[in-house]
Structure formats: structure tokens, C-alpha cells
Amino acid sequence: MNKIPLVLLAVALLATSGTCAALSDEEELGKLLYFDTNLSTPVGQSCASCHEPSAGFADPDNGLSVSQGVLPLNRFGNRNSPTAAYAAYSPDFGTITEDDETLYAGGQFWDGRAKDLVEQAKGPFLNPLEMNNPNKRTVIVKIKNSEYADFFEEVTGVDLKDLSDSNVELAYNKVAEAIAAYEGTSEVNQFSSKYDLYLAGDVQLTDEETLGLELFEGKALCSQCHPSEPGPYADQALFTDYTYDNLGTPKNMDNPFYDLPRKFNPEGAGFIDYGLGGFLKSSGTMGWENEAGKVKVPTLRNIAVTSPYMHNGVFGSLTEVVDFYNTRDNVSSNWPAPEVAENVNIDELGDLGLNETEVTALVAFMETLTDGYAAPV
């Protein structure tokens, strides 16, 4: 602990706010790695660049539907950055049984392709559309040259001077484990929203927020997939059951990914995101067709500060999202066709019959889910 240069520690501490339990050495190391902008090629991008604490651990750049990589010239990923907060509660990717039905659940990324947070954390450093390092060794050499190199060795027991393949592999695993440990802390998962304070009996919701909550759990069916009560994965409500669904979300024609060079996107504007189905197909899993177009139900914690919305960032505001749930199937509404027409959920959304007051109330309720709520004194 005493080996972390104070400057670095101060920078890392300034980057987050709120009251938090002290971090363990491994969590502290994970935090230094999470905020280190030297770990990209060229330097300048850290995990926090796309999962920024003040933006609910999602992408602060609200002007864009998807995230820009470290290479500025037209390098975009094809998906919207989800929040990294509360991701720690997602169970390992697998199947669950619900009402005699076997469903996919858990994992990381919109399509579940990383089993858990450790596997997830290994991705961004090497992704050419994200932090763009050519290989694991590059990342480890950067850490070897960092101010916290001694601290890294002390915490992990790995000798950074040994750059043999097997040792680089070991060190890289420790990097991912430390980041995952940090993502599991109460600094990232604060449970400090107005809704949490309301459940604890410390504040009251306004009439509008109360109506929103009633609709959320009732007529609007939101809690069917975004549970507002504690469930199997945490003692607090996570606002996701980590299952997968195709809501019939339209394609986002403004996605800059469509304009990428063929090397990164051979299909151009014809690119279709099959979500979970795409991942299962690529891993040779039978029955992938039944999962085409489905993506993981995201948490709604901090949702008011993590626009744009949906896996492709097609919607800019919460009102637009609720309008979509409310009127997707109305003949008079003009929503574009689903990106993937198969497996669209027609049972729990599409024609909810909400009036304007009810739509506004649902949005007001979702705005109570932002962490760091300070009760008026």
C-alpha cells in the first residue's frame, strides 16, 4: 500500500467520489490499472474513458451512439458502452431454468461472450477498436515502466522483468483479476441512489416517482426483466435479471461503425448485430437461431446519466425508450423495422397503453436510480 506514489493515488481518488470502504491492495491495484491512460497504444485511453465514474461508469461522450477507440480517425466499436458498475453481479454465462424453460443468462458484454469479469477485462486492451495494443506483452511492458510497477509485483507476486511468454500470460491474468476485483467494490457499486434511500426509509419519493414505480412494477411490465426488488444475485435490486431478449430494437443508421474500412467491418451498412445468437453461432452452439437478435437485459441503475440507449445507442432519451416500449406495435406509430426480425418479444411490450403522464412518471422513476443521491437537508 505505502508503495503507491501519492500523486497517482490522488489522481485515482479524485476520479471517483462518494464514501467508500477502504480498498484492499488488489482492489487498489485494479483501480490504478482501470484509470491508467498509458495502457493504450498510442497512450491516452483507459477503461474509464468509456466507463467514466461521473457518467455512471458508462461512456461520457453522449454525442456518439457508440464508443470511439484510442485511434481517433474513424475507429468506432459497433456497440454502445454499457455501465461497468453492477456488472460484477452478473452470474457466469450459462443457462437457467425458469418455468420449465431453459434460458441463457449472465456473462459479460451485450452478447455474453465473456464468461465473467476477469475474462471481460482481458478484451479491451487488445481490441483494435478500443485500446489497440498489439499484444499482451505490450501491456505488461507498460506496467513494468509505470510508477506502480513495484506495487504490482508486491500485490501479485509476479516478476515484471521476466518477459517470457508464460510469465507475460501470468501477469496479464493478474491485471484482469485486479481490475475485476476493483469492479466488485462498493466504490463502483454504490447502491446510493434515491431509490435505495427510499427503500431504507430515509427519503420519500414524489407522487410522480411513486406513480412511476407502480407502473414499472405493474401495467408497464418493466420489472419482468428489470426487477426492482432483490433477487438471486444480490441483496439489493439490480434492475436486470441478466437474461437475453430481442425487443425489436431498430438498427441505428447513424452508427459510425457502418462506415469503417472493410478490414474492420466487411459488411458495411449491411452489418447486422445478432447479439447472443451471433456469439453462439461463432462458438458452434446448436440452436443459436433461437437466440438471434437477443441481447442481455442491462441494469437500469444510473440509467439517467448513461445515454444513449440500447446496445446500438439508437435512442437518445429515456422518453424515447419508454415511447418505444409503449407504442412499438401501434399501427399509427412509425418505428423502423427491428434490426433482427426473428425472436422479437411480443408478449411483454409493444402496446402498453400508457398515456403521456404515465410515460413521464416512468422516466421520473428511472431518474431516482442515479447513485450519489444527496438527501435535501
Our CB check for ligand HEC shows the closer of 190 and 249 to be 249
Rounded to a whole number of angstroms, the minimum distance from the CB of residue 32 to ligand HEC is: 12
Angle CA 113–229–85, to nearest 5: 40
Count Cβ atoms below 10 Å from residue 97 Cβ, excluding itself: 9
Given the rule CB under 6 A, which residues bind ligand HEC?
45, 47, 49-51, 67, 69, 77, 79, 81-82, 84, 87, 108-111, 117, 120-121, 124-125, 130-131, 179, 220-222, 224-226, 245, 247, 249, 295, 297-298, 300, 303, 306, 309-311, 318, 321-322, 325, 345, 348-349, 362
Q: How far is the CB of 176 from ligand HEC (least distance, A)?
A: 8
In the bound complex, what is the minimum distance in angstroms from residue 377's beta carbon to ligand HEC? 30
Q: Are 94 and 105 in contact (CB under 8 A)?
A: yes
In whole angstroms, how close is the CB of 128 to ligand HEC at the nearest point?
A: 11
Q: Is the peptide bond before 338 cis (omega within 30 degrees of 0)?
A: no
Which residues, in sequence order, are CB contacts of 154 under 8 Å at separation 6+? Answer: 3, 25
Query: Nearest-CA neighbor of 110 among 273, 288, 345?
Result: 273
Rounded to a whole number of angstroms, the minimum distance from the CB of residue 179 to ligand HEC is: 5
Close Cβ partners of 355 (under 8 Å, ≥ 6 residues apart)? none
345: exposed, middle or buried (C-beta count within 10 Å: 0-12, 13-18, 19+)? middle
Cβ distance to ligand HEC smaller for residue 154 or 351: 351
Name the residue nearer to ligand HEC (CB basis): 110 or 148: 110
Find the shortest distance in angstroms from Cβ 284 to ligand HEC: 19
Answer for the pair 37, 45: CB distance below 8 angstroms, yes or no.
Answer: yes
Torsion from C-alpha of 162, 165, 166, 167, nearest 10 degrees: 30
Q: Which is nearer to ligand HEC, 249 or 265 (CB)?
A: 249
Q: Smallest distance, Å, CB 96 to ligand HEC?
A: 15
Residue among 198 and 293 whose Cβ is closer to ligand HEC = 293
Determine contact, residues 260/69, Cβ cutoff 8 Å.
no
Give first-to-last CA distance, the chain, whole Å.
37
Residue 301 burial (CB count, 10 A): 28
Shortest distance (Å) from residue 169 CB to ligand HEC: 17
Q: b/e per residue, 361-372, with b = 16+ CB within 10 A?
A: bbbbbbbbbbbb
Q: Cβ distance 193 to 369 under 8 Å?
A: yes
CB 77 within 8 A of CB 257: yes
Residue 202: count other Cβ atoms within 10 Å of its Cβ.
11
328 grid coordinates: 412499438
